[in-house]
Amino acid sequence: MQFSIDWQKHPLIPAIVQDSKSGEVLMLAYMNEEALQKSLETGYAHYYSRSRQKLWKKGESSGNVQKIVDIKLDCDNDTILLQVEQKGPACHTGRKSCFFKNLSTGTITSEPIQDPNKMYDDVIDRLYHIIQERKEADPQKSWTAKLFAKGENTILKKVVEEAGEFCFAIKDRDTEQIIYECADLVYHCLVALASKDISPELVRQELKRRFGMSGIEEKAARK
């Protein structure tokens, strides 16, 4: 019997990921037709990132890949169950599973098995993930959480302030200060992006789109 998914009706379907040996649920992601096809062809889990709007292989940057043991389709043909051999942690926090928060008690039920700072080659992606996590942190203990707690006006005010300080450092021709202020500006821009759940990957894609196009042409195209 051949089973099929109506991709026109369900362009993105949930993919539940389960450890093939223990049965533990590791994560939930989403697949489009291309992601499922790539997973079937390679034997390794591929997903579609809704935030980055692109196909990605699990573990492509961290090395924590998921080797597929079996794939099952639910009774409504709109949800996938992946049973995998997980290399390293499945969660970007360094934990084995993404499900480590007890809703009833508000406690953390597991600790990282890998340093999350060593899981990403791209410091921007890692910083963005940390900023997203800080949304739930105590504003008394986290500057990022304090920014989110104070709201959009405070976040945007800091972007403007840091942009000004960066410009002054440029004017002063102080290399060390230029680098320092630029780092501050990038951080606060990422906070602003995170406040709208916009991945920096989308900014990368926009920059790539502009390659081969002059600045004058790009400005004209906006109109």
- 222 pLDDT band, cuts 50/70/90, is low
Flag whether pLDDT at 211 surpasses 70: yes
Closest of 34, 28, 42, 41 to residue 79, by C-alpha: 28
Domain ranges of the chain: 13-118, 123-216
The dihedral through the CA atoms of 119, 125, 130, 132 has a sign that is negative
Tokens of 103: 């809703």
Return the ∠ at Cα 18 (arms to 68 and 126), rounded to 5°: 85
CATH of 123-216, one of 1.20.58.190, 3.10.450.50, 1.10.287.1080, 3.40.50.2300: 1.10.287.1080
How does pLDDT run across 150-178, given as a tens digit for each residue?
999 999 999 999 999 999 999 999 999 99
List the beta strands (DSSP E) in the chain: 13-19, 25-31, 46-49, 54-57, 66-73, 80-86
Instruction: Assess whether the region 13-118 and the region 123-216 belong to the same CATH fold.
Output: no
**Range with lowest mean pLDDT among 6-20, 124-138, 190-204:** 124-138
Decide: 63 and 45 in contact? Cβ < 8 Å. no
Higher pLDDT pick, 150 / 223: 150
Flag whether pLDDT at 118 surpasses 80: no
If you average pLDDT over residues 106-128, what whole number do you get?
85
Say whether 160 sits in a helix, a strand or coil.
helix
How does pLDDT run across 25-73, given as a tens digit for each residue?
999 999 999 999 999 999 999 999 998 889 999 998 888 999 999 999 9
CATH of 13-118, one of 3.10.450.50, 2.30.40.10, 3.10.20.810, 3.50.50.60: 3.10.20.810
Say whether 35 sits in a helix, a strand or coil.
helix
- DSSP tag of 60: T
Look at strands 13-19 and 80-86 and give their pairing.
Answer: parallel
How does pLDDT run across 81-115, given as a tens digit for each residue?
999 999 999 998 899 999 999 999 989 999 999 88
Decide: 134 and 142 in contact? Cβ < 8 Å. yes
Scored b (16 or more CB within 10 A) or e, 22-52 reads eeeebbebebbeebbebbeeeebbbbbeeeb
The pTM assigned to this predicted structure is 0.74
Separation between Cα atoms, residue 17 and residue 56, nearest integer Å: 15
Residue listed under structure tokens 């928060």: 101
